[in-house]
Amino acid sequence: MALANWAELPKDLIDLIAKCVKLIEDFIAFGVVCTSWRNSETKVNFDFLSPQLPLLMLADKGDDYREFYSLSKKKVSHVFLPEVRERECYPTEGWICNVKFDTTEMTLLHPFSRISIQLLLKKELWASAERFPERRTRYQCMSIAVLSMSPSFTSDYVLTISYYAYNFLACWRPGDLNWTYVDLDHHGGVSSMIYHKGQFYCVTNSGQIWVFGVPGPSIPQPIVVKATKVVHIANTIFGNYGYLIELSGALLIIFRYRRLAGGDTFRVFEIDVNEVELKKINTLGDYAIFVGLNGALCIDSSNFTEVKSNHIYFTDNDEEVFHCGDGAGRNMGAYNLEDRKTESFYPEESLSRSGICPPTWVTPSF
């Protein structure tokens, strides 16, 4: 019995097969089969509403490739990405905001299409930091980067970053000639930020939650962006780190309590902005949450048999260990909110560490 020549299948049949593929990582593999299949690997044939499982982007190794670990395939893929070699990387909306520590170059990079958007020079951010010279540090160029929407689908987006050891916030819109400093009279560095219902929310290490909006592109610079304090969390609740996340339309905060010997624990609360209070969440239901260097994201685990519900998948994002020894990346695991136990999701013998860019979660997109 002769084997079928997959390359000679009718195009309409190949297109139909392509439309049945739901994960982007599988869709990319689909295009590698042969030229005729690659021709069907287009955005038209992919359902953008299908949920995606985050990939673990492993630590920087100082070469032109980055490794991505798939929870579904339990294997590592090597992607040619010289653009982020030895750079700080902050994934957001399927893109990676990256900056070279010792240069002024900063870009937004789509890791799978390698489309790049050049951002303003780092010296523009130094100009904002000069307002408070006593708060400048040498640890990192940036610490958080959050997009309001993906540049893949619109040019009406805002990029907000926290820079120089979490102490400053600035935003940029396509077409802006310089960064706009966010007026934020906070205490303690910003530990997490999220775009939620048309506004940016951030939480500081001292337990303050702030909110601010950024005018649309129809309003030219100069613009004024001023933050308002929403909630001040008691020290008895706040952990070593706080992550903001949206789940089913609600705004949640996840407190991470770091243990020096590992075994981090977590607590989850819903933020009631109207009542100015926190409500403890004991279960995530079918959801799983992923936390790491640049914040948090959640998925409905019922769509993925490889992910456990009511678990928090975490990577090591403690900046104090980034720049000593062999870097961060040891402290990773999946924390069960019900029994408060942690299990491994990544092979221990392959632990990935870096003092520049430790392992972090990336949501695949077009």
pLDDT tens-place string over residues 315-327: 876 554 555 555 5
Q: In this predicted structure, what is the pLDDT of residue 9? A: 75
Q: In this predicted structure, what is the pLDDT of residue 2? A: 47
pLDDT-based confidence at residue 132 (cuts at 50, 70, 90): low
Give the whole-angstrom CA distance, residue 111 versus residue 115: 8
Q: What is the mean pLDDT of the chain?
A: 81
For the stretch 155-195, pLDDT in tens is 999 999 988 655 689 999 999 988 898 998 876 678 899 99
Of the candidate ranges 18-27, 47-56, 217-226, 336-345, the one whose mean pLDDT is the lowest: 18-27
Q: How many CA atoms lie within 13 A of 138 on its CB side?
A: 2
> Cα 173–176–182 angle (5° rounding)?
65
For the stretch 77-126, pLDDT in tens is 888 999 999 888 999 999 999 987 666 688 999 998 889 999 876 666 66
339 or 19, which is more confident? 339
Single-letter amino acid code for the residue at 206: S
pLDDT at 303 over 60: yes
Q: What are phi and psi of 173, to 5 degrees?
A: -120, 150
Task: Report yes or no: 352 and 329 within 8 Å, Cβ to Cβ.
Answer: yes
pTM above 0.95, yes or no: no
Q: In this predicted structure, what is the pLDDT of residue 137? A: 46
Sheet holding 287-292, edge to edge: 295-300, 287-292, 311-314, 333-336, 342-343
Q: In sequence order, which residues have a C-beta less than 8 Å from that of residue 183 and are 6 or more positions away?
A: 224, 225, 226, 227
Tell me the mean pLDDT in the region 203-217: 89
pLDDT at 297 over 50: yes
Percent residues over pLDDT 90 in the chain: 38
pLDDT-based confidence at residue 328 (cuts at 50, 70, 90): low
Task: Report yes or no: 295 and 243 within 8 Å, Cβ to Cβ.
Answer: yes
141 or 144, which is more confident? 144
Residue tagged 């990582």 (tokens) = 25
pLDDT at 17 over 80: no
For the stretch 26-52, pLDDT in tens is 666 666 566 665 666 666 555 666 678
Task: Report yes or no: 360 and 91 within 8 Å, Cβ to Cβ.
Answer: yes
Q: In this predicted structure, what is the pLDDT of residue 364? A: 84
